Amino acid sequence: MQATDHRVVVYYQTTHYNGSATNDVSLLPLINSQPEVLTAHVLLIGAIHVVTEEQGWMRLNDYTPDNPIFDHVWSDAAVLQAAGVAVMVMVGGAAPGSWPRLGGDEANFELYYGHLRDFVGTYNIHGLDLDVEQSMPLSDIIRLIDRLRANFGDDFIISLAPVASALTEGGGNLSGFNYFELEAQRGSSIDFYNGQFYYGRGDASSAADYEDIIDDGFPAEKVLTAENPTFGGVAGWEYFNSLPGGDNAPWEWAAWMADAMESDASVVKREISSTEKLRRAVRKEYKPLRREAKHVYRNYIA
């Protein structure tokens, strides 16, 4: 995908309804229910964990990726790929363990990275979403990004999934490293950021927190979700019960978003007016006051 594309990203972790091994959550309606619209541009299967040899080296949620419980996941993913959907896999998340294994000294990194590399090749993965929710040195994530780019080339998609506040100066951060430093050093190798607006680390009910990210210097076209002429797109967690359709029609959310992205495509390249530039300058000037107001409000409602 091009950096200026408006992406509709669908996270897919719940692969079966109600924990049943036979009640599959199918991905095929993402391309079959709305033939005039490609309802998802990126499918993000989650979550892959890098584990020990005794656990099989790689886990997709609770099982090894080759477990028959995932047969429909990989077959559906192949159909979506043939239709033009980029199929990625999320690595890490809240479960601990993957990032120390993909960090550390060279011997440690080579051991565990080799299994991640083989997984990508085996399942024809188009890219990885690096969701670092444990502290990790900047040098370690740069080493991983460099190796992925070297092994899989420029077409391989690399994204990161920080909490939204990590994309603002002085904001909260679960990853340990500074995302501004990462963008400065390896921005050319990172396709986009899936900012997580939740749990007090970002509020998506308005464009304010997204605007804070842009005001602080992150390029709008690389950050997903919110209101901006060049915004990157929108990502939704997660597919199986997405509103408005819920369990019965989870693909409807992606269809709505895809239609909105297409409708707004003509706006993407318009020049920013002098009025809008002034508005952004005022927002930046009063940003410390807005942050303090948010802090007081959140403490009040808590």
The predicted-structure confidence for 92-140, as pLDDT tens digits, reads as follows: 988 889 999 999 999 999 999 999 999 999 999 999 999 999 999 999 9
pLDDT at 33: 66
* b/e map 198-235, b = 16+ CB within 10 Å: eeebbebeeeebbbbbbbeebebbbbbbbebebbbbbb
Q: Taking residues 185-193, report their average pLDDT.
A: 94
Residue 64 lies in a domain: yes
Whether residues 279 and 222 share a domain: the answer is no
pTM above 0.75?
yes
Structure tokens at 190: 């990172």
* b/e map 166-176, b = 16+ CB within 10 Å: bbbeebebbbe
Q: Taking residues 248-267, report their average pLDDT.
A: 75
* b/e map 109-134, b = 16+ CB within 10 Å: beebbebbeebbeebebbbbbbbbbb
pLDDT tens digits for 43-74? 999 899 999 999 999 999 999 999 999 999 99
pLDDT at 21: 73
Q: How many domains is the chain partitioned into structurally?
A: 2
Q: Which residues pair with 234 in a beta bridge?
A: 8
Rounded distance between C-alpha atoms, residue 127 and residue 76, angstroms: 17
Whether residues 204 and 147 share a domain: the answer is yes
Whether residues 206 and 253 share a domain: the answer is yes
Rounded distance between C-alpha atoms, residue 253 and residue 250, angstroms: 7
CA distances 135 to 58, 64, 162, 240, Å, are 21, 25, 12, 30
Could you list the residue range(s) of the whole structural domain that residue 28 is in?
7-270
Which of 72-81, 98-107, 139-148, 261-270 shows the lowest per-residue confidence on average (mean pLDDT)?
A: 261-270
CATH code of the domain in which 114 resides: 3.20.20.80
Provide the CB-side half-sphere exposure for 111 (13 A, CA). Answer: 14
Whether residues 153 and 216 share a domain: the answer is yes
